[in-house]
Structure 1
């Protein structure tokens, strides 16, 4: 009987999609912790729009990114493949980086383009710029792009205004390089970027894209990787000083306001019932910034580490009439977004080794996950060390642990940059359902049943690592100062003359 119902549901879904292909809005926050949203337990965060999405949609409690830093996490999200395959490691890409997401990798946008989808990216790209814009979104399947090609702290910010009327940015960011540019398509529109007005520009761009696509009756994919709440935080007049959490809370509120604008637009254009809205984040909070760095909630450590706080993220799926409100504890990942979107759209999957699985069963049927395990690579993965950790079911095994500068300042010394790489044999094993804080490693002597668990974990690890072919490291290709974007490329002296 259950199988008949499932077949009937699948048939109905396919017929519905054939008549009117679904739209997709993918929201991706930056350096946001598991405990930062009101709907995930923060007592003073002001995130009413995301909270409403969570209340009316499906909230995922066991959702993971693939890296505790930005570029590799974004590569995995858009390709459905671990960053080690595409070569987005070690660390992140910079303004003058020679490499970027290889053009032979297939993004979600490229999966949808053959089906006639309109595609747009707005916000933080951080997957490479390259010579003549080689790696920009417009070369990776996106029709439109408005945003910054890398992280917004990758330029001097000490003299820039982050909050109105003239509150300067907290910190200095990266000195000695060009100021951060805002690009429209492949052209620099503004340099340096005007932070207090940036989110308004993004919101207007995204609203216009949805409105135009709906008017043209064209299915669309909107990818909105926000800069919020990455350091340095910023916000415009609509959010500055309006939260209870200071600059961090204001930037989070501004992001939430844009989410509200997008939801209003989906309703006004009449496409909300045919649109999957999915929200998550790229990695955990940068705890070294203290109150300006976000919150991991009950999870251990944060950005830069392979503990839960570094890679377990809030996630919300919303689709009226298709996704029933509730909570799921099924295992899922950013890797699973590409195959899920492909399945719902009726698109052909890339003919490469994918690490993602289709989440449709979780989202629309509240069923079981097809994901058996989650792998944890450090910021600097290598074939020599392999996986740092692996989660199988409710158990997580740490083969290596290490702190990070991104997570220093918290009392837990395991998070500190001073805590060096340590090999564990046997691995540290935690029940992350009972102990999500990873405080209490389980004893193999007291729990002989864990020997079977460890045996299965090691078997999954061996099988996975045998399938892993490391792509050529794009970050190790180095940097060329001539590749740093300048709106006035013939000017002198650089970088100070790059101003428009």
Structure 2
């Protein structure tokens, strides 16, 4: 009688041990999947943040992130303009491979990011992550919203799908202060989408950042409570022109309207960090902050600042593509500053590996893993980087190539600055110039690209860079341009077919009544 009882007790104990072991293993697996937050600013220059040397910027939350995290000094976007830089961030591939060239998508564009591209959201979703994008998409809307984020791996989307200067602006600052820049009167008002549905049109810029922040923090809270690993891509409209700010941030900065916009962005970053802390997930969350391209110098003091770098948005000079970047993860990311070379295409590879996702092997991936820089204070996996201009084409190939500390310009062209700007190399009217032999700079000793190298050093370096560039150009496969057409019928409108178009496209109550619909509750 005792033996069967003892046997049952032993079996019960074994079951409990196995059950406890399974729970511990499950917890370990969950802990191995860090939460991931990518914060993406718009038109923010290398010299705009206090941590990068601006004397009058007020960015206490980004300053704190920088103090606790790793500050990059050699970090690059894939393009000096919006749409191509965003596709590179999300796919780990140069924009030429995706067809996001020669310009950017507009409100009436009929194309978008190809469906056969694999985004970081798709990779991480397959690895068990909840995924969301809040803010600016700028990779197409399309007929029946076919190109919006929920068709590219994101479980949830809320935001304006393109730059907010691509629609008529009503009010930018509280109370009732119109935007400074002229806005397009022929396009539909700025729509705010939730997934594939317009929930408000036109957007209210005086509450827009709060709306974005509420959506982002709610997503964090929801998934932290459910112990689901999450990937949040928070793509701000700030600090793109026309700048805007809420009542709380209007006239809050001595930098004027740009400073107000930047301060509001910094506040939102702080709210994200507060939510990570209050939700108990800060210690297991990787946060990365950067910008899509350099400052819009044509707006002068309202367009941002590139610091000591040459030119800005629209050019392949350093000011157009070298960006502020900060990585943060307590106890994991090594605090300090790094001069190691990295780029937006590397974000895809880094977070995909971090989350245990499977990186596609059926296509070229241009990104490399930043883990050695982030976690081990080691050398970068990248020795070179290629610069594509605002309007690339296969005949020219890349405009410039960086190899270690050296940069060779094969072509140069003006950007988006106007004639009041003192450097005519940056003017929009400055034509494309082919350099044969190429210009060569040492960016460690001359980050402003003022003193071209010559002599023995030049001869030793330029052949190696030229051969490498010719090989890259030859092997690059250019996808047919997706920025190929536009039609007014493609403009987002919450009342399709209404009249008079486009001013009739107006609907939506207060955003708060629509936010966090059943679509978000499912995450």
CA contact (8 A) 1:286 1:407 kept: no
Alpha-carbon contact 1:403-1:418 (below 8 Å) kept: yes
Q: Distance in 2 between matches of 1:264 and 1:344?
A: 23
Determine which of 112, 127, 132 is the counterpart of 2:124.
Answer: 112
Question: What CA distance in whole angstroms lies between the structure 2 residues aligned with 1:16 and 1:315?
Answer: 30
SS of corresponding position for 2:273: helix
Aligned to 1:6: none
1:4 maps to what in 2?
Answer: none
Deviation at 1:19, TM superposition (A): 3.9
SS at match of 1:405: coil
Aligned CA-pair RMSD = 1.2
Normalising by the residue count of structure 2, what TM-score does the alignment of the two structures yield? 0.90
In the alignment, the residues of structure 2 paired with residue 145 and residue 129 of structure 1 have an alpha-carbon distance, to the nearest angstrom, of 12
SS in 2 for 1:320: coil
- For the residues of structure 1 that align with 2:226 and 2:261, how far apart are their CA atoms? 33
Give yes or no for contact 2:139–2:162 (8 Å, CA) kept in 1. yes
Name which of 481, 505, 510 aligns with 1:473: 481
Contact 2:30 2:229 in 1 (8 A): no
Partner of 2:380: 369
| C-alpha distance in 1 between matches for 2:57 and 2:281 | 29
The change in CA–CA distance for 1:408 and 1:115 in structure 2 (over 3 A counts) is: farther
- Does residue 410 (structure 1) correspond to residue 404 (structure 2)? The answer is no
Matches within 5 A, 1:161-172: 161-172=171-182
SS at 2:385's partner residue? strand
* Alpha-carbon distance, 1:17 to partner: 6.2
| Whole-angstrom distance in 1 between the partners of 2:65 and 2:275 | 15
Cα deviation digits, residues 187-231 of structure 1 (max 9, x gap): 111111100011111111001000000001000000011000000
Aligned with 1:326 (options 313, 321, 336): 336
Aligned partner of 1:381 in structure 2 is 392
Among residues 178, 187, 195, which one is paired with 2:205 in the alignment? 195
Within 2, Cα distance between the matches of 1:336 and 1:163? 36
1:395 corresponds to 2:406: yes
Judge conservation of contact 2:34–2:229 (CA < 8 Å) in 1. Answer: yes
Matched, 1:240 2:247: no
| 2:259 matches 1:252 | no
Q: Distance in 1 between matches of 2:501 and 2:413?
A: 39
Aligned twin of 2:503: 496
Q: Is the Cα contact below 8 Å between 2:41 and 2:237 reproduced in 1?
A: yes
Q: CA deviation at 1:409?
A: 3.3
Aligned with residue 463 of structure 2, among 448, 455, 462:
455
Deviations 1:123-142 (CA, angstroms, capped at 9, x unpaired): 11000000000100111111
Q: Does 1:56 align with 2:64?
A: no
CA contact (8 A) 1:301 1:407 kept: no
Mapped contact 1:302–1:407 kept (Cα < 8 A) = no
Give the total of aligned pairs.
Answer: 480
> How far apart, in 2, do the equivalents of 1:372 and 1:350 lie?
23
Instruction: State the TM-score, normalizing by the size of structure 1.
Output: 0.94
Q: 1:80-159, aligned counterparts within 5 Å?
A: 80-157=92-169
2:431 match: secondary structure: coil
SS at match of 2:456: coil
User: In terms of Rg, which structure is larger?
Assistant: 2
CA distance in 1, matches of 2:102, 2:418: 18
CA contact (8 A) 1:122 1:224 kept: yes
Relative to structure 1, the CA distance from residue 16 to residue 422 in structure 2 (aligned partners, 3 Å threshold; closer, same or farther) is: farther
Query: How many Å separate the matches in 2 of 1:61 and 1:407?
Result: 27
Other structure's SS at 1:102 match: coil
Match of 1:7 in 2: none
Answer whether contact 2:74 2:322 (CA < 8 A) is retained.
yes
Deviates more, 1:385-394 or 1:416-425: 416-425
State the secondary structure of the residue aligned to 1:374. strand
CA distance in 2, matches of 1:16, 1:434: 47
Cα distance, 1:18 vs. partner? 6.0
Q: Kindly state the Cα deviation for residue 174 of structure 1 after the two structures are TM-superposed.
A: 1.7
> What's the secondary structure of 1:162's corresponding residue?
coil
CA contact (8 A) 2:133 2:158 kept: yes
Preserved CA contact (<8 Å) 1:303 1:407? no
Q: Cα 1:408–1:253, aligned 2, differ >3 Å: closer, same or farther? A: farther
The runs of 5 or more residues in structure 2 that have no matched partner are 1-26, 508-523
Q: Distance in 1 between matches of 2:120 and 2:259?
A: 31
Q: Is the 8 A contact 1:22 1:276 kept in 2?
A: yes
Distance in 2, matches of 1:69 and 1:96, equals 18
Post-superposition Cα deviations, 1:90-114, rounded to whole Å, max 9, x if no partner, equal: 1100111111000110111001011
Does the 8 Å contact 2:138/2:162 carry over to 1? yes
Secondary structure of 2:429's counterpart equals coil
CA offset at residue 458 of structure 1?
Answer: 1.1
1:287 aligned to 2:287? no
CA distance in 1, matches of 2:416, 2:53: 26
Cα offsets for 1:273-307 (capped at 9, x unmatched): 11000000000000010110000000000000000
Deviation at 1:382, TM superposition (A): 0.9
Distance across 2 between alignment mates of 1:56 and 1:405: 35
1:418 deviation in Å?
A: 2.4
Q: Distance in 1 between matches of 2:64 and 2:314?
A: 30
1:306 to 290, 309, 316: 316
Distance in 2 separating the partners of 1:410 and 1:131: 40
Judge conservation of contact 1:163–1:196 (CA < 8 Å) in 2: yes
Q: Distance in 2 between matches of 1:176 and 1:335?
A: 35
Between stretches 362-371 and 462-471, larger displacement belongs to 462-471
Question: What is the Cα deviation at residue 60 of structure 1?
Answer: 0.3
